């Protein structure tokens, strides 16, 4: 079983694994919500970051143990550990941040103290709207920066381009820092389309493209992925530029191979499969 999607440790396992693994406890878990701007999902307590969850996103907790919550992201089934104090059950989102980023304020006034930076696709419960600001558990957020949870972007490439200039961060999933596969997943999720988190899974999930490069296609290298913008341009988060950038396709292919990371391994054209 792939460790990334195995909701089981030495103490507890998800009830769906009963009969497949041994565990002293099986449970369906309980849905909690992220209550900090960005929370790292770790492979183990205090270990490496696999990915991140943004404010308001759900996390199904199977157990709390020594200050850590073990569970999984119910959207992509990625399992791991999050610090327990990064979670709450006191918010149930109604809206998402639809701009690259925004701030939450102490009052419905842009001159009031800012409380929190919120990335694109953070999820918030809106209690009321006053003076162009929405009251949320994070604070007062400009309502023009929000959209109902039902909002779906028309073009995943346009969402990726919203992140231009964001710093590269291994395992990152926000405007504060993002990596190549995180950018692709975020772009497709915003468009309401299913997409796994890591580049190896993305490459295996989508059909091969036929013909030339088309907007929304994906190019893969070993351990890397980029979105096609047009016949000559791609967009990707990469460690060479340490940022999300546009790059000429042929220039990128030559540069990546020259730096020792090999040739393009596949050219994919994602289907329009909706998120579950």
What CATH number does residue 50 fall under? 2.30.30.40
When pLDDT is cut at 50, 70 and 90, the band that residue 273 belongs to is low
Residue 143 structural domain? 95-148
How confident is the model over 33-80, as pLDDT tens digits?
A: 999 999 999 999 999 999 999 999 999 999 999 999 999 999 999 999
**276 part of a folded domain:** no
**8 part of a folded domain:** yes
Nearest to 158 by CA among 227, 248, 231: 227
Q: In terms of DSSP bridges, do strands 114-119 and 101-105 run parallel, antiparallel, or are they unpaired?
A: antiparallel
**14 part of a folded domain:** yes
Rg (the chain; Cα; Å): 19
In terms of domains, do 100 and 76 share one? no
**273 part of a folded domain:** no
pTM for the full model?
A: 0.94
Total of domains in the chain = 3
In terms of domains, do 214 and 245 share one? yes
In terms of domains, do 56 and 14 share one? yes
**211 part of a folded domain:** yes
When pLDDT is cut at 50, 70 and 90, the band that residue 275 belongs to is low
């Amino acid at each position: 079983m792939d460790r990334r999607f195995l909701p089981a440790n030495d103490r507890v396992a998800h009830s769906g694994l009963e009969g497949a693994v041994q565990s002293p406890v099986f449970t369906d878990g309980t849905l909690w919500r992220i209550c900090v701007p960005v929370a790292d999902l770790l492979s183990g307590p205090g270990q490496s970051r696999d990915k991140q969850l943004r404010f308001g996103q759900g996390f199904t907790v199977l157990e709390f143990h020594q200050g850590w919550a073990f569970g999984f992201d119910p959207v992509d089934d990625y399992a791991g550990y999050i610090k327990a104090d990064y979670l709450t059950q006191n918010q149930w989102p109604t809206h998402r941040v639809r701009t690259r980023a925004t701030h939450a304020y102490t009052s419905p006034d842009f001159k009031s103290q800012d409380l929190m930076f919120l990335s694109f696709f953070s999820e918030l419960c809106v209690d009321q709207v006053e003076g162009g600001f929405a009251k949320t558990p994070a604070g007062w957020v400009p309502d023009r920066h929000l959209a109902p949870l039902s909002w779906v972007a028309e073009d995943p490439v346009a969402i990726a381009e919203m992140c231009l200039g964001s710093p590269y961060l291994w395992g990152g999933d926000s405007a504060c820092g993002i990596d190549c596969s995180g950018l692709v997943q975020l772009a497709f999720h915003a468009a309401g389309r299913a997409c796994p988190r890591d580049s190896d899974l993305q490459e295996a999930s989508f059909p091969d493209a036929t013909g030339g490069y088309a907007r929304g296609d994906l190019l893969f290298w070993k351990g890397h992925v980029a979105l096609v913008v047009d016949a000559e341009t791609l967009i990707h988060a990469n460690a060479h530029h340490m940022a999300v950038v546009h790059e000429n396709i042929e220039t990128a292919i030559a540069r990546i191979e020259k730096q020792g990371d090999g040739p393009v391994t596949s050219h994919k054209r994602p289907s329009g499969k909706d998120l579950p």
